[in-house]
Amino acid sequence: MSPIVFEEVKRALDERYSTQDVQLIERAFHFAQDAHEGQLRHTGEPYFSHCVAVGRKLAELKLPSEVIAAGLLHDVPEDTEKTVEDITVEFGADIASMVSAITKLGKVKYRGEERYAENLRKMFVAMAEDVRVIFIKFADRMHNLETLYALPENKRQRIAKEVLEIYAPIANRLGMGEYRGQFEDYAFKYLSPKEYSWTQHLLEERVKKFGPALDRALHDVEMELRKHSITAADIHGRVKHCYSLHKKLDRYKGDIGKIYDIVALRVVVKDIPECYAALGILHGLYTPLPGRIKDYIAQQKPNGYQSIHTTVFDDEGSILEFQIRTAQMHEENEYGVAAHWKYKQGEDAQARQVQWMEELAAIQKELSATDFMKHLSELKLDMFRDRIFVFTPRGDVIDLPEESTPIDLAYAIHSEIGNKAVQSRINGEIASLSTPLKSGDLCEIIMDKNRKYPNDAWLDFVKTRHAREKIKDALKDAKTGIFSSFMKKYRGDSSSST
């Protein structure tokens, strides 16, 4: 195998990086390469290839050279003879402290629910102390996901679950849409391979079906914008992330015909006045669907997302979604807080960064290891906006869509628990099976052992497709039940008589 050369990282460094920056990164490259000499990964590649992949991802986020250097060094203290002290001597206290924080983040003592809480707490603490550490951890985890196939099944499941429960929501909170999407898709692929490939198939079908309409619109819109002297526009198609479509299908009860943003066209223009001008031009060209204009520029989403969305009919009756934003918004939508850390950031971005750090520091101050569980539910409300996390009496954490009910929870645990459910106890209080659950609730399902089939009225309020399907299956069985019990009896009789 030919040795890995610095060129592989250097390629990702654009003109924003000075000669000193490149030299620092190159020194870290060689230091890590020497330290990991001879070590192999599960994939059979040199261990160092992982460090290079992490460094490259950080360079693609255009993060400062110290962060890229720390990324290259991130596994040195854990896996080699060299220590944090050696790194301090060689690269100074700032880089060494990032590497040390990453090393601490990797050491988790507990299992089950406690492990989840500990992981989440550690991520919070790291984030509040130095958000750059989270970027390195994200890049590290992303490359681990890319090579997850090489790990044994139980480890794959644990990592995928952790990514879905902790990494993706944090990426979302940090406004890092691209990382969130990739985290969720990798986790989905390993946690529910069948649903993943089914959803993937749906996506491909849609792209095929709407491809010609999108190509046509791309051309027409470009011409029309140019006519109105909006010339710098970048128009490109984007396909919805697989897991995001899966969740939306859950909310729309599986009705794909109601989901219009599976493929969308993004119109990236110079400034905010151009965004509104472009919206007007689009509405001149196509008929907008009533009630489908969302102005996330006037009112940004809580995680900072900014864009104008509109859904229109084209001349041939195809329904298309457009997303209009400035180039800066586009970058921030994809990379969130990381975009604020970019090289030569403006003062405005710095001010926002400071505010964000103060918010986090305030949260962190309230937390200590012991009362963390008490705060967990309040925190989750803010952190995980469209998912809720419900605890079972056995200490499992179940991830459900917002407004899910005890019945959704029951079927998420096991079909038999769903079929036999009669009541629930939420945080110690008896509650009906249709009560909407909140993040952090402890929910117990009370069962009647003699009950065989679910209640068809449950179909009116369940939120997850999983529960709905299980209820329908069980009801189908109920209809054929008389016949099948007769068959069982008949077989039983005949065998006893011979």
Neighbour tally for 314: CB within 10 Å:
16
Active site residue 78: yes
* Cα separations in angstroms, 345 against 104, 217, 340, 405, 452: 29, 35, 6, 45, 63
Q: Are 259 and 244 in contact (CB under 8 A)?
A: no
Q: Which structure tokens are listed for 279?
A: 């919206």
Which of these is catalytic: 78, 204, 271, 382? 78
Comparing every residue's Cβ against Mn ion, the nearest one is: 140
Q: Residue 264: what are its φ and ψ, rounded to 5°?
A: -135, 160
CB of 48 to Mn ion, least distance (A): 11
Q: Which is nearer to Mn ion, 140 or 321 (CB)?
A: 140
Find the helix or strand (DSSP H, E) in which 389 lies.
Answer: strand 387-391
- 75 vs 332 by CB, closer to Mn ion: 75
Cβ closer to Mn ion: 75 or 185?
75
Gap between the Cα atoms of 404 and 434, Å rounded: 8
Between 66 and 140, whose beta carbon lies closer to Mn ion? 140
- For the chain, what is the largest distance between any 2 Cα atoms, rounded to a whole number of angstroms? 92
Q: Quick check: is 205 catalytic?
A: no
Spatial CA neighbour of 62 closest among 25, 101, 109 = 25
Closest Cα partner for 405 from 379, 426, 381, 382? Answer: 426
| Reduced 3-state DSSP string for 414-459 | CHHHHHCEEEEEECCEEECCCCCCCCCCEEEEEECCCCCCCCHHHH
Question: What string of DSSP letters covers 226-295?
Answer: HHTT--S-EEEEEEPPHHHHHHHHHHTTT-GGG---SEEEEEEESSHHHHHHHHHHHHHHSEEPTT--EE
How would you classify the pairing of strands 234-239 and 294-295? unpaired
Query: Do the beta carbons of residue 400 and residue 387 sit within 8 Å?
Result: yes
User: Please, what is the minimum distance in Å from the beta carbon of residue 77 to Mn ion?
Assistant: 11
CB of 106 to Mn ion, least distance (A): 8
The residue (of 147 and 345) whose beta carbon lies closer to Mn ion is 147
Residue closer to Mn ion, measured from CB, 103 or 328? 103
The residue type at 195: E
Q: How far is the CB of 133 from Mn ion (least distance, A)?
A: 13
Q: How far is the CB of 74 from Mn ion (least distance, A)?
A: 6
Q: How far apart are CA 119 and CA 376, in angstroms?
A: 12
Nearer to Mn ion, 140 or 441 (CB): 140
Q: Which is nearer to Mn ion, 53 or 203 (CB)?
A: 53
Residue 360 Cβ, how far from Mn ion at the closest point, in Å?
24
User: What is the nearest approach in angstroms of Mn ion to the Cβ of residue 354?
Assistant: 30
Which position among 21, 79, 146, 224 bears the catalytic label?
A: 79
Cβ neighbours of 209 (radius 10 Å): 13
- Spatial neighbors of 14 by CB under 8 A, at least 6 apart, are 62
Rg for the chain, CA atoms, rounded: 26
Q: Binding residues for Mn ion, per CB under 5 A?
A: 75, 140
Contact of 381 with 441, CB cutoff 8 Å? no
Of 32 and 127, nearer to Mn ion (C-beta) is 32
- Letter for the amino acid at 360? L
User: Would you please indicate which residues are annotated as catalytic (active-site) residues?
Assistant: 78-79
